Each structure stands twice: as structure tokens, then as C-alpha cells.
Structure 1
Amino acid sequence: MESDIISQVSRPILDKVFATPSTSELIVQDFAVIMIIASIMALISYKLKQPMIMAYIIAGMLIGPHTPPFSLIVNVDILHVFAEIGIILLLFVIGMEFPIEKLKNIGKKATFIAVVEASGTFMAGFAVTQAMGFAFFDSLFLSLAISVTSTVIIMRVLEELGMLKDEATYLVIGIAVIEDVIIISLLAVLQSVAATGNLSITEVGVSITLVIAFIVGAIIVGSKVIPRCVDLVGRTNHDELLIIGVLGVAFGLAFIAFRLDISVATGAFFAGVLVAGSRMRMATKVLATPIRDMFAALFFISVGALMDIKLLPMFIVPAVILVLVSFVAKFSTVWASARAQKLGKVTSLKTGVGLSSSGGELALVAAKGGVDVGATSSFVLPMVGAMTIISTFISPYVIKYGWKFTERLARKEVEGKDG
């Protein structure tokens, strides 16, 4: 009798424990695994004083389906959803750093250098990847990825060195801003062309026209509407309404861009630019940043999870070569174009060193852009991930010691003249 009672009580509990989990339960399980592993890796990265992006990529590699003996996550597709949301929020907050007035005031010198640097690095990367035997679209997206400069890394390093007010710093930041706009626009064009699989002059012309029309339309029309709407919501002094409203702008423009076969990153970036024109910019940034941080982490984790580390021996050497190509191309194009603008040797050298590092969040966005439209091979994303890890690790040291070396040369030159 007693055993029957125990059986009646315990059976529902055991059935529930050993029952096949539902889809929602699997998502919660995957999310728990992702956040726990990411937290552990982030703590280790913090203790070792390394960039968090490396921690998230490695965490993704640990839990991903390509890491033996088995995947720690069940539903890999959910990572793609998290990654897409992460891209939108990441580019939205980056766009908020560059209101339209700031973009207008960057100056002709920064614009000229940015165009020369981006195009020069892109062409150098394309030439090298083609010589190495890569497929056409693989070369295009890899070249775009190495053309990126990590604005976040540059800002953090210069801030730590106390050089934010240096003459070269303003130029570096201005160039990085213009470069971000160029890279995002090129990504939109490449994705549009790759989606059709046709690289005819007509298709390229249509893609470029569509991107320009979207950007111009977003700026001209959006700048007259979005800031006023954001300020109107902000007057309610209700944080929840404000954050929901600006996220609606971000995802709304991202969706419009997607429907036009343009990268969602482009729509999100210019949504941030428009919101930055409102009086509520700082409050919005404070509210949006924690959400951005969480989903940006999920984006980098998803990139790591999608990397097949078994392919590492195949792409590590090309990755190192492309990092070197990027460094040489960026430094030489920035130095030459800065000198052509009649900037001093010291400023030109510092600017060249500051912008010579590749990688960062936009490089991964560019690489994943090729994956999203099915245009690139399976090794492109892990290769760019390896390049990002390498460049993220060495960039702070390159900038720090490069600028110190430049200042030492400047002092010796002054002492030589005095002598």
C-alpha cells in the first residue's frame, strides 16, 4: 500500500524529469549554456587583461557543433537569430556615436584618407587572395573584412595612453568613422550582388544606386522625422517608452534595408545616426548599451560556434598572411595620403600606425554577410575569426609602441635640429 502511494507520487515527477524537452525548454537550455560558458571565459579574459571579443569567440568555439566530442548546444539555428539581433543592436549603438552634424564636420582630409585606405586595402586583399587561389566571392568578402579598422579597439587604447586629445587622434577617429560608412555601404552592395550571383555592370549599378538611395533617403527624410519623434517620446520621462521607441526605429530601418536586399547592418547603423540627432541621444545610449552588450556578446559567440576548428591547419597560414597584407596596405595608404594632404611626418606616422590594425566587430559582420547570402565558402568565417583574434591581440601593442616609437623619432629630430 505504502509503495503504491510512493509510486503514484513519484511517477509524475520522474515522467516530467525524463520526458523529451519541448522546443522552448531546449532554447532556455541552450541560452543557459551560452551565458554560463561566456561568463566563465569573460572572467578569464578580464583576469588576463585581454579584449572581451576574444573571450566570446573562444566560448562559441567551445560550445559549438564543430568542437569534439559533441556540441553543448542543441539548436544551432537559434544562434543565427541571436547573431542577427546582435548585429542590429551593435551597429545601432555604433551609429549613435556619429550624428549627422559630426559626419559633416569630419573634414575633407579624413574623407580623402579613408577612401584611399579602404579602396587600397580592398584591392590589395583581392589581389593577394586571388593569387592564393580563393574563389571570386570569397576574395571579395575577405578583402572587405581586412579593410575594416576596429574603432572600439583604437578608442580604448588611445584612452588608456591618455592620447585622446592628440592631433593625430582626431584624424584617426574621423577616418575610422568615414571608413565604417564605406565598409557598411560596400557590404550592402556585395550582398545585393552576391544574392543574384550576377556581377554585371547593370547589377552593380543597380545595387550601388539602391544603397545610395537608401542612405540619402534615410538621412534626408529620417533626419526631419526621427529626432523629433524621439524627443517627443523622451518628454514623457518614461525610460521604457524611450527604449522601446528607439529600438523600433533600429529594427524598423533594419527591416526596410533587408526588404531592399541591403544589409540589416546598414539600416541599423543609419538608425543610430538619426537617433543621435535628437536631444535624448545620451539617455538613449545609456539605455541601449546594456542590451547591445548582451546581444553583441551573443553575436561573437555565434561566430565562434560556427567556426570549424578542424579547418584551422588549412586557414591559419592564409589568415596570418592577410593580417600582414592588411597592416602593410593600411599603413602605406594612410601614410601616403596623409602626406599628400600636407600633414606633418609625425601626424602621418601616428595616423598610419593607429589605423593599421584590421579586424574588430565589423570584420566579423562583413564575413557573416557573405555567409548569410550563401556566397562564401565554409572556411571564410573561421578564417576571419582567426584574423580577428590575431589582430585584436596585437593591435593594442602595435598602436601603443608604434606611437611611442614615433614620438621618440620626433624628439630625436628636434634634438638634432637644436644641436
Structure 2
Amino acid sequence: MHSAVFLIEFGAIILGLGLLGRVAGRLKFSPIPLYLLAGLAFGTGGLLPLGASEEFVAIGAEIGVILLLLMLGLEYTATDLVSNLKTQYPAGLVDFTLNALPGAAAALLMGWGPVAAVVLAGVTWISSSGVIAKVMGDLGRVGNRETPVILSILVLEDLAMAVYLPIITALLAGVSLAAGSLTLAIALFVAGAVLFVAVRYGRVISRFVSSDDPEKLLLVVLGLTLLVAGIAQQLQVSAAVGAFLVGIALSGEVAEGTHTLLSPLRDLFAAVFFVFFGLHTDPASIPPVLLPALALAVVTAGTKIATGYWAARRAGIGVKGRWRAGGTLVARGEFSIVIAGLAVTAGIEPALGPLATAYVLILVIVGPLTARYTQPLAAWTATRLAARHMPTRAPAAPPEHESVPTQPASDRG
């Protein structure tokens, strides 16, 4: 009987997610907010709370995070990452300063304490690579001059996660300063070692994993990813970071084949992850934090636009491209929820989960709009301001007397 209830519940969830994905596709926006709303509906205090399938959904959510980071790592090579670190690190520092500090300040102003401040800083800092990539594709901007700048900032944020997530894990676990420092040192060593191996021996690893049989390739890559993620989590590094580093180590045809094979699984379990986060958020807890979430969304939308504008100007991009870069970076999504999910599981601040949910819901909807309309709106505003400050010319006064041209002496007489 228990298994029958589980199958009914889980089947209803997957079917519902599929229908919501279709609705989002018709409306041409990210399905993430619909998945979060579905989680709110099925969670505690929702319309139809789950029972038998909640434990399986939790496992699926963890796999979803791992696959999200794996697929993101497949997008980049180790050489690209090293190059971005060398050339674009100033943009990464500006990105962190402008977007992490508002979140930390908001948590402290609400009296949540330093640990919650570090968590909320990450929620407001990291843009959604998945939503942004989809928006750029939908708008036909993949080949634009500002696109490498946008991707560089996203790559730097993803690399920063390799350091940030172990710090968060240690803080949430309440370990001592010495233990936390050891955890961070292990994380940095593991990340550096994997990057070194990926740069020097990436082709060897890819040949080892490679297979002409899609079934064998899927099993080897998925098994390797879960194994490394588990070892990383055992070392308090973070399973997500381990999966990200595995993706970086794979390259060439193996990366392309893996991306094709794992994309459906990634989409399935990522959707389950967003539902799982919603399950742990009581809908009744969102209205009290809606105004702070809205204020934080407005502030950090502005700081992201400023970040993209500054980075694009530094790269020599024109004014229109600078505004497009800034507007494209506004969306938050999967990584903000990953970070908040760690805090919700640890139970450090009851209002943090609802605030993060409302914040992501706002910006994942607003993000595609800012990507499309920031540059036209900036151009319209500049035109209006220029017209308002343009000096008005007084009409020329008519001459009092008509002058009669003097005839030259040679023509007289």
C-alpha cells in the first residue's frame, strides 16, 4: 500500500512538472518559478501535502544539484577557466562587492546574525547561469560582443562557488575556526588539484571515459560524478563542487556526448530539486518577508546592471552592449536556491528560506525582462534627458530696414 501511494504521489509530481514546463515554454520564460510554486503547493501548509514520496524527493533533489553543477562544468574547459581568472578577476571582485554586500547587510539589519549574513550574501551574489543562457539564446545574443563578458562573470561566480560552498558548509555545521580553516584548505587543495589534472591530463581522462556506446558512456560518467561528489561531501568540500570539477575535467567529444545524454536527466532532477525547496517553505511564511525580498530584489537588480555595465566598459564594449550585459545578469535562480537550501536544512533562520524563495521568484521573472528592455529603456531615458537640457534658440529678429545692394563703380552710369 505504501509503495502504491508513493508511485501515485511521485507520478503526480512528475506529470505536474511536465505540464508546468509546457506552460512556461508557451509563455517563453523560465519554468523555475512555476516549479517553486508547485513545491509550495505540495509542502507543509500547502494545498496537498505529500507523505510517502518526500524522502525520495529529497534524494532526487540532491542528485539534481549534482547534475546541475556537472552540466555547468561541461560548458567550460580548464584552460578557459584559468584564462578567465587571469583576465577577468577585477570584474569578479566588483561583482562580489556590489552584489554580495547588500545581502549580508540585509541579514544583519534584520538581526539574523553573521552566519545567515554569509548565506544571504551568496543568495544575492550568484546569477542564474541556466536562466541567463536560455535568455541569451531566446534573444539571439549568443554572438554579441558583450556575451564573452557575461560568460566570464558567470564562470568566475561558478569558480567562487568551489570556495564559497565549503565555507558555508563549515559555518552551518558550527565547526570551530580551526576545523573550518582545515575544511577550506582541503577544498582549495582539491579544487586546485582537479584543475591541474584537468589542464595537464584532461585528454587522458576523456579517453578513459569515452565510449561509442551511449549506454556505457552514461553509466561511467554518471557513476564517476556521483562517486566524486560523495567523496567531496565526505571531505566537507561539497558534493556540488565535486560534480562541477568532474565536468571541467571532461572535454571534447566526451563532454558533448555527455551533455546530450544527461540533459534530460538534469532537467528532471533539477525540477525535483526546486520542488523539494518549495516543500520546505510554508506559503504562509512568505507574505511577512515579501517587502524585504522586493526591496532586496530592486537593490541587487541595480547592482547587477552596474556590474555588467562596468565589466563591458572595461572590455571596450559600446554603450548599448554595456546596458545589455548589465540587464542580462539580473536573473537569480538555481544557485541562490542551492545556497538557501543548505541553510534551510541546517535550520539556522526560519525566515531565510521564505525570503530566498520570494527573492528568486521575483528576479527569475524580472531577469528576462531586464535582459530585453534595459538597453532600450536606457536609450529612451538618455534621449529624454538630452531633449530636456537642450537650450532653446530664440527666433531671429526681422531686419528693420531692407538694404539696397550698392552697384559697383564699374557698373554705374
Scaled by the length of structure 1, the TM-score of the pair is 0.84
Q: Do structure 1's residue 371 and structure 2's residue 341 form an aligned pair? A: no
Q: Residues 189 and 211 of structure 1 are in contact (CA less than 8 Å); yes or no, is this contact kept in structure 2?
A: no
Q: Determine the C-alpha separation between the residues in 1 that align with 2:216 and 2:24.
A: 35
| In the alignment, structure 1 residue 39 sits paired with structure 2 residue 9 | no
What per-residue deviation string (whole Å, max 9, x for no partner) do you get for residues 312-336 of structure 1? Answer: 2211112112212212333334445
Match of 2:121 among 143, 150, 159: 143
**1:116–1:334 CA contact under 8 A, matched in 2:** no
Give 1:13-412 correspondences, 5 Å limit.
21-22=1-2, 24-68=3-47, 70-106=48-84, 108-198=86-176, 200=177, 202-221=178-197, 227-235=203-211, 237-275=212-250, 277-336=251-310, 339=313, 345-355=319-329, 357-372=330-345, 374=346, 376-406=348-378
Note the C-alpha offset of 1:239: 0.9
Q: Distance in 2 between matches of 1:102 and 1:410?
A: 37
Task: Report the AA paired with residue 163 of structure 1.
Answer: R
- Alpha-carbon distance between aligned partners in 2 of 1:350 and 1:41, rounded to the nearest angstrom: 29
CA distance 1:40–1:72, shift in 2 (3 Å): farther
Secondary structure of residue in 2 paired with 1:181 = helix
Instruction: For residues 139-173 of structure 1, give each alpha carbon's deviation from its aligned partner in whole angstroms, at most 9, with x where no partner exists.
Output: 22111111011122222222222222221111111
Structure 1 residues 1-54: Cα deviation after superposition (integer angstroms, max 9, x where no partner): xxxxxxxxxxxxxxxxxxxx14x4443233112112222322333333332112
Deviations 1:256-275 (A, max 9, x none): 21011122111111111112
Aligned-partner residue type, residue 145 of structure 1: V
1:110 maps to amino acid: Q
Specify whether residues 108 and 254 from structure 1 end up closer, same or farther in structure 2 by C-alpha distance, changes over 3 A only. same
Pick which of 245-254 and 104-113 moved more.
104-113
Shift of 1:388: 1.2
The whole-number CA distance in structure 1 between the counterparts of 2:10 and 2:355 is 26
Aligned pair in 2 of structure 1 residues 163, 339: CA closer, same or farther (>3 Å)? closer
Taking structure 2 as the reference length, the TM-score comes to 0.85
Q: Which has the larger radius of gyration?
A: 2
The residue matched to 2:146 in structure 1 has which SS? helix
Query: Amino acid of the residue matched to residue 362 of structure 1?
Result: F
Tell me the SS of whatever aligns to 1:67.
coil
Q: Secondary structure of 1:377's match? A: coil
CA distance in structure 1 between the aligned counterparts of 2:140 and 2:372, rounded to whole angstroms: 11
- The 2-side partners of 1:407 and 1:110 are apart by 27
TM superposition shift of 1:178: 1.0
Question: What is the rounded CA distance, in whole Å, between the counterparts of 1:72 and 1:245 in structure 2?
Answer: 34
- Is the 2:150–2:325 contact (alpha carbons within 8 Å) kept by the matching residues of 1? yes
2:149–2:311 contact (8 Å) kept in structure 1: no
SS of the counterpart of 2:218? helix
Percent of counterpart pairs with the same letter? 24
Secondary structure, counterpart of 2:163 in structure 1:
helix
Equivalenced residue count is: 388
Displacement of 1:217? 1.5
In structure 2, the CA distance between the partners of 1:220 and 1:26, relative to structure 1 (3 Å rule), is farther
Post-superposition offset of 1:187:
1.8
User: Deviation string for 1:372-400 (max 9, x for gaps)?
Assistant: 4x153233223212211111111111111
User: Measured at CA, do residues 40 and 166 of structure 1 come closer, stay the same or move farther in structure 2, by a change above 3 Å?
Assistant: closer
Distance (Å, rounded) in 2 between the aligned partners of 1:346 and 1:107: 26
Structure 1 unaligned spans of 5+: 1-20, 414-419
Unaligned runs of 5+ in 2: 386-413
Take 1:160 and 1:77, find their aligned partners in 2: how far apart are those partners?
Answer: 36
Superposed CA RMSD in Å reads 2.8
Q: Which moved more, 1:320-329 or 1:71-80?
A: 71-80
Tell me, in whole angstroms, the C-alpha distance in 2 between the residues paired with 1:52 and 1:369. 22
Letter in 2 for 1:195: A
